[in-house]
Amino acid sequence: MDSFFNWIDSRFGIKEPHRRFLHRRLPERITYLYCLGGVAFTLFLCLLFTGMLLSLYYVPSEQEAFQSTLRLTKEVRLGWLIRSLHKWAAHLFIVFIILHALRVIVHRAYRPPRELNWITGTLTLVVAFASGFTGYLLPWDQRAYWATEVGTSMVATVPLIGNHLLYLIRGGPDVSGVTLVRFYSLHVLWLPLIMGFLLWAHFHMVKHQGISGGL
Amino acid sequence: MDRRDFLGKIIKIFFLTLFSVLSAISLLFLYPSKIRKRKVQFFEVLKEEDLPRRGVKKVVFRYPRGEQILRMKAFIVNHNGRLFAISPVCTHLGCVVSWHRKKEQFLCPCHGGRYDIEGRVIEGPPPRPLTKLPLKIENSKAYIGLKI
């Protein structure tokens, strides 16, 4: 097994840079609180994996979205498990991002030169909220529909351009099949890609600047 | 073994286990939970008096597949006092064969496969004889069975 990976790595060359990253010296004062971000990232991987599985059965159309969700939960083997994992990982993802942010605030790790890392982290939280909001519509049941109806209607309160923003988000005056497809695309394509880029930038800067020494 | 190696092993085992469990879950998830058994269903093709007394008769009948109604061709053969039905699908690459009355052979137009009146291969690329279809006569009507 090892010799197989060594054969690949002698051509691919990924072990050495990662060894430099994973085997680097850490500050003395590090505690388990520094794991909160890592937990959030693990949850993100879990979301990615379960989401990819769910997308194999989910049908993003006005007529079939609800039926396919029902089938997924009731008929597909372990479908209930995968769907629940996705749901709970999504909740915990946001919880752990917030806990991680609190740790950064308490340790004042947002100070120079780490401002940009704080910004990418905050954007990650925004994208996580957006993913949660778009994902909530996908089961296409009454709760999903009305939650989105209410949620998107808040945009209309923006002065002057409110209604235009609303049409832009819903793809029409009402929450309809168009909104569903829009949210589906955002949820499975745009937001994960943006999130992936943000996380890459986030980790790159952690590696580049080192871990803040804490208080 | 020092502490570092030991922990390294533990981590390796952890990730291997994780990988195996996730693969198992994915396979279970992907495998269809309900697989419909294909059963033989009979479709009416002819009245009993229209059955061939000698030789080959081509019949066309319809059968449902999901929402669609499909047309199917078959041959009913009466040879040496035996009555049977033959599928016209060539066993080579699935072209539809036709009956040549003078040569008394089934000919495949695609790659020159030739079968005798019983559906046995005489010449050409087909690996197997033509498939026999179940034929039954009930209430003075002839039915052909298909696995759908």
Q: Are B141 and B47 in contact (CB under 8 A)?
A: yes
Q: Are B86 and B109 in contact (CB under 8 A)?
A: no
Over residues B114-125, the pLDDT tens digits come to 998 888 898 889
pLDDT recorded at residue A213: 62
What does the pLDDT read at residue B118? Answer: 87
* pLDDT of the residue at A128: 97
Strand pairing partners for A36?
none
Highest mean predicted confidence (pLDDT) among A66-70, B48-52, B53-57, B69-73? A66-70
SS3 state at A153: helix
Check residue A214 and give its pLDDT: 54
Nearest C-alpha of chain B: how many angstroms from A108? 32
A77 touches chain B (CB under 8 A): yes
Concatenate the DSSP letters of all residues of A68-117 into one string: HHHHHHHTSTTHHHHHHHHHHHHHHHHHHHHHHHHHHHHTTTTSTT-HHH
| CB contact (8 A) between residue A77 and residue B26 | no
ipTM greater than 0.95, yes or no? no
Q: Do B25 and A75 touch (CB under 8 A)?
A: no
Which pLDDT score, from 0 to 100, does residue A124 have? 97
Contact A78 B28 (CB under 8 A): yes
**Which residues does A209 contact at the CB level (< 8 Å), separation at least 6?**
A113, A114, A117
> Which pLDDT value is given to residue B46?
81
User: B67 near B73, Cβ under 8 Å?
Assistant: no
φ, ψ of residue B59 in degrees (nearest 5): -125, 150
Nearest CA in chain B to A72: B29
Q: Is the pLDDT of residue B145 over 80?
A: yes
Share of chain B above pLDDT 90, in %: 30
Quick: pLDDT tens for A73-119.
999 999 999 999 999 999 999 999 999 999 999 999 898 889 999 99
Chain A CB contacts of B25 below 8 Å: 78, 81-82
Write down the pTM of the prediction.
0.77
B31 contacts A78? CB cut-off 8 A: no
How far A111 CA lies from chain B's nearest CA (Å)? 34
> What average pLDDT does range B134-145 have in this prediction?
86
* DSSP codes of every residue in B43-69: EEEEEGGGS-SSEEEEEEEEEEETTEE
> What is the pLDDT confidence band of residue B17, given thresholds at 50, 70 and 90?
very high
**With a cut of 70, which residues of chain A have pLDDT below it?**
213-215
Residues 6+ away with beta carbon under 8 Å from B62: B43, B69, B70, B71, B72
The single-letter DSSP state of residue B31 is S
Nearest CA in chain B to A74: B33
Mutate to test the interface with A, among B12, B19, B29 (most CBs of A within 10 A): B29
B121-123 and B68-79 as β-strands: parallel, antiparallel, unpaired?
unpaired
**Residues in B touching A49 (Cβ below 8 Å):** 22
Nearest to A75 among B25, B28, B33 (CB): B33
Tokens of A119: 């910004």
Q: Which domains does chain A have, with CATH numbers?
A: 33-140+192-209 (1.20.810.10)
